[in-house]
């Protein structure tokens, strides 16, 4: 497998509306390595989500190129899984039917893939809820079900677009821990977009700080934390945690 | 919770609730009885002219005589059948057109002003035209029923399609869905409640179309009985038909309501 799973080369992205043209991303280059968890932080509206949409192939860059596993992105592919802010489980489908949605769309719903999804649901505590409807589940369980829906098509790369922001703070801490453990266990590469600096420091090995719009890479931080188990919650106790937090906070240069 | 003996305070609360519910039901039934009783008495003592205003006992007699020759079933059946065909075809055809509009934003934009005008136009005004074009047959009546319901269906279902959560559509796009899959996996299923509520509106609208159609075609059905009774001054027949129509309309509405409960239970 290639070491660099995502290569973003000199990408620019412009939006056109009747009131004018907006440059969302300017000449941005970035590599993501296999198996790492990377967070992207930046000022609100700086084009973080646009970057994820470009990697997932649902948008095409104005210029530059994006390679996933060495191949140029031509459209949505099963190599890349996208997780949105809310779980967006469909109320009219049971959990198992929600989880197999991607397989159904990609026409890959076979006995084997069905069994794989069942295995994931069993493994991650949803065994008894397969035939329940989403509204019968708690917020945390729904988020897990949404992750399993993303994992079902077996993507190498997960794009997480503020996946915890719709949850309350306690649930958010617990779920980010759980999701992080699942991602590591399944050996996925993850790109996390977040507003939450502490979440970024706790969850990732690298943090990419973007500038104001049009987004460029402002700085890249390698995160080294001294703690026994490197999981998001225990990371928060590491002595370096505060140091990274302050550095990134200053770089974001927030003025209210 | 319920197994524990309820507190005195809670019992009083529950009792108050029960009394309120009972008094609402009693009032509803009283109005019903008072209306017909007053009508009967007023006609009996000639405060009103029973020849013009009819009378509940005459209505009952009319029902009996219509039942004995079976014509009540024929006319009610025809009206109900025409209405059902009308609102089902109006809902289905309207939904299909709404799908076309959703599919092509260009077509939707182009047709927008025409839909607005057609929606504002009272469809019953088209009755004589349809009568001339299609002829005095049941088809004319069904087309009337269809016309009264289709525009409302198109507008409401299209609106429901458009208000489908963009992020749910985005989710499907990231999974690689094509437009047809977006329609069948998320846009249509999420619009089912809206389509059923349109179905409910359409029961009433189609009935308007059917009755006006029967007025014009004048062959059979409750609308025919009403117009015929009016022309020959048999007000008993008119009143009877109107009352049967009210019952039939209510029953059709309740069946769609029941269907809605069944279909939306799992959501």
ipTM of the complex: 0.87
Partner residue opposite B168 with nearest CB, options A75, A88, A102: A88
pLDDT in tens, A78-129: 889 999 888 899 999 999 999 999 999 999 999 999 999 999 999 888 999 9
Q: Which helix (H) or strand (E) holds A193?
A: strand A189-193
Confidence (pLDDT) at A9: 92
Partner residue opposite B172 with nearest CB, options A80, A85, A105: A105
Cα separation, A215 vs A250, in Å, equals: 17
pLDDT in tens, A154-205: 999 999 998 888 788 888 888 888 889 888 988 999 999 988 888 888 889 9
Contact A92, A84 (CB under 8 A): no
Task: Give the CA distances from residue B44 to residues A22, B30, B61, in Å, rounded to whole numbers and listed in that order.
Answer: 82, 20, 15
Closest alpha carbon to A13 in A5, A22, A4: A22
Partner residue opposite B186 with nearest CB, options A56, A84, A90: A90
Cα separation, A27 vs A25, in Å, equals: 7
Task: Give the CA distances from residue A76 to residues A57, A105, A161, A255, in Å, rounded to whole numbers and listed in that order.
Answer: 5, 12, 16, 37
Identify the band that residue A214 occupies on the pLDDT scale cut at 50, 70 and 90.
confident
For the entire predicted model, the pTM comes to 0.86
- The first and second tokens of residue B148, run together, are 């009264």
DSSP state of A7: E
Chain A hits for B176, CB-CB cut-off 8 Å, are 75-78, 102, 105-106
Cα separation, B207 vs B142, in Å, equals: 10
- pLDDT of A210 > 70? The answer is yes
pLDDT in tens, A225-254: 887 777 888 888 888 888 889 888 888 877
Residue A190: CB atoms within 10 Å: 24
Confidence (pLDDT) at B33: 96
Task: Give the CA distances from residue B3 to residues A134, B14, B17, in Å, rounded to whole numbers and listed in that order.
Answer: 30, 15, 20
Identify the band that residue A255 occupies on the pLDDT scale cut at 50, 70 and 90.
low
Partner residue opposite A88 with nearest CB, options B167, B181, B192: B167
Beta-carbon separation of A92 and B192 below 8 A: yes
Cα separation, B267 vs B264, in Å, equals: 5
Beta-carbon separation of B267 and A92 below 8 A: yes
| CA B62 centroid distance within chain | 26
Beta-carbon separation of A106 and B267 below 8 A: no
**Average pLDDT, integer, range A24-52:** 89
Confidence (pLDDT) at A163: 84
Confidence (pLDDT) at A4: 87
Beta-carbon separation of A84 and B185 below 8 A: no
Confidence (pLDDT) at A90: 94
Beta-carbon separation of B170 and A58 below 8 A: yes
Ranges in chain B, pLDDT < 70: 1-4, 265-267
Chain B hits for A134, CB-CB cut-off 8 Å, are none
Chain B hits for A88, CB-CB cut-off 8 Å, are 165, 167-168, 171
Confidence (pLDDT) at A256: 63
Confidence (pLDDT) at B121: 94
Quote the mean pLDDT of chain A: 89
- pLDDT of A22 > 60? The answer is yes
Cα separation, A201 vs A236, in Å, equals: 8
Per 3-state DSSP, what percentage of chain A is helix, strand, and coil (rounded to 5)? 35, 25, 40
Looking at the DSSP bridge assignments, the partners of residue A220 are A208
**Average pLDDT, integer, range A131-149:** 91
């Amino acid at each position: 497998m290639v070491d660099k799973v995502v290569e973003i080369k000199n990408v620019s992205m412009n939006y056109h509306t009747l009131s004018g043209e907006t440059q969302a991303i300017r000449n941005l280059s970035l590599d993501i390595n296999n198996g790492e968890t990377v967070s992207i932080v930046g000022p609100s509206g700086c084009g973080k989500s646009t970057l994820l949409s470009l990697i997932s192939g649902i948008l095409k860059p104005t210029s530059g190129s994006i390679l996933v596993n060495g191949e140029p992105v031509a459209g949505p592919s099963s190599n890349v899984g996208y997780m949105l802010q809310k779980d967006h489980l469909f109320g009219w489908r049971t959990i198992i039917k929600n989880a197999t949605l991607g397989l159904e769309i990609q026409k890959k719903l076979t006995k084997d893939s069905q069994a794989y999804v069942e295995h994931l649901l069993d493994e991650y505590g949803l065994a008894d809820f397969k035939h329940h409807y989403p509204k019968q589940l708690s917020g945390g369980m729904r988020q897990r079900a949404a992750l399993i829906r993303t994992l079902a098509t077996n993507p190498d790369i997960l794009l997480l677009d503020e996946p915890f922001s719709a949850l309350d703070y306690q649930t958010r801490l617990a779920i980010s821990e759980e999701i992080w453990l699942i991602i590591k266990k399944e050996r996925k590469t993850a790109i996390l977009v977040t507003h939450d600096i502490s979440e970024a420091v706790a969850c990732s090995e690298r943090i990419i700080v973007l500038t104001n719009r049009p987004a460029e890479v402002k700085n890249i931080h390698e995160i080294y934390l001294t703690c026994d188990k490197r999981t998001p919650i225990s990371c928060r106790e590491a002595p370096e945690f505060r140091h990274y937090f302050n550095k990134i906070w200053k770089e974001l240069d927030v003025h209210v | 919770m319920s197994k524990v003996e309820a507190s005195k305070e809670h019992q009083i609360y529950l009792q108050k609730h029960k009394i309120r519910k009972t008094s609402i039901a009693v009032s509803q039934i009283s109005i019903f009885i008072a209306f017909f009783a007053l009508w009967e008495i007023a006609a009996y003592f000639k405060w009103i002219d029973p020849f013009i205003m009819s009378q509940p006992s005459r209505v009952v007699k009319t029902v009996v005589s219509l039942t004995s020759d079976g014509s009540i079933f024929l006319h009610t059946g025809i009206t109900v059948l025409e209405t059902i065909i009308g609102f089902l075809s109006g809902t289905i055809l309207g939904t299909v057109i709404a799908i076309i509009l959703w599919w092509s934003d260009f077509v939707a934009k182009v047709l927008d002003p025409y839909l607005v005008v057609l929606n504002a136009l009272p469809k019953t005004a088209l009755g004589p035209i349809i009568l001339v074009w299609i002829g005095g047959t049941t088809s004319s009546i069904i087309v009337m029923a269809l016309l009264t319901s289709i525009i409302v269906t198109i507008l409401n279902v299209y609106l429901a399609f458009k208000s489908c959560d963009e992020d749910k559509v985005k989710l499907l796009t990231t999974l690689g869905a094509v437009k047809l899959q977006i329609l069948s996996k998320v846009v249509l299923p999420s619009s089912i409640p809206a389509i059923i509520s349109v179905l409910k509106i359409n029961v009433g609208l189609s009935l308007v179309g059917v009755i006006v159609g029967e007025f014009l075609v004048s062959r059979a059905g409750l609308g025919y009985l009403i117009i015929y009774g009016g022309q020959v001054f048999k007000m008993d027949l008119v009143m009877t038909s109107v009352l049967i129509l009210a019952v039939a309309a209510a029953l059709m509405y309740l069946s769609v309501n029941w269907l809605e409960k069944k279909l939306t239970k799992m959501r």
